[in-house]
Structure 1
Amino acid sequence: MTDLDAGLAARIAATARQIERYCRRNEIAVAADGGIDEAAAAKVLGYAGPDALRRQAAEGVNRVPFRLLGNRRLYRILDLAREIERSYNGDG
């Protein structure tokens, strides 16, 4: 792992911890695998609402992986942190 990779991994981990704290402060339920619901994920990413994530999934261009639980989408905190840091890294 290069220094750049290690730095990015450290930033992703730090961002994931911040998201976890945000979820606790705002009483957002976190699944055992670290998944949060679509509305919470949209807030974390700074979207106006979950419609943006729904549109991405419907169009097949979702930038963050999700899992379906019935008709609900759950997004892992680590994947959200990775997307946030990826965009700051200039890759997005």
Structure 2
Amino acid sequence: MPLSRNPEICAAELDGEMCLFNPENAEYLNLNGTGSSIWNLLDAPAELEELICNLQARYAVDAETCRHETEAFVAEALKRGMLTEAQPA
């Protein structure tokens, strides 16, 4: 299922990193460079595999590490309500 940004999240870029605010639970989250890349890649809904391929093309990282780190980030972002699973059209 495609992933997308939660449209309720307020986001701002500060010094190359994204700062997110979830007004539903008043939680802030600062994303590092890779997390910011994932957030930016999700400007439109995307499958996890698309994210992994794009990140591997951007960063010098092996496939296993990229998959593990991306899956961990996505799981945490879903848990915190920063990302959602997009509903098919």
* TM-score normalised over the length of structure 1: 0.27
- Higher fraction of strand: 2
TM-score calculated relative to the size of structure 2 = 0.28
Report which of the two structures shows the higher radius of gyration computed on alpha carbons.
Answer: 1
Q: Larger % of helix: which?
A: 1
RCO comparison, higher one (Cα < 8 Å, 6+): 2
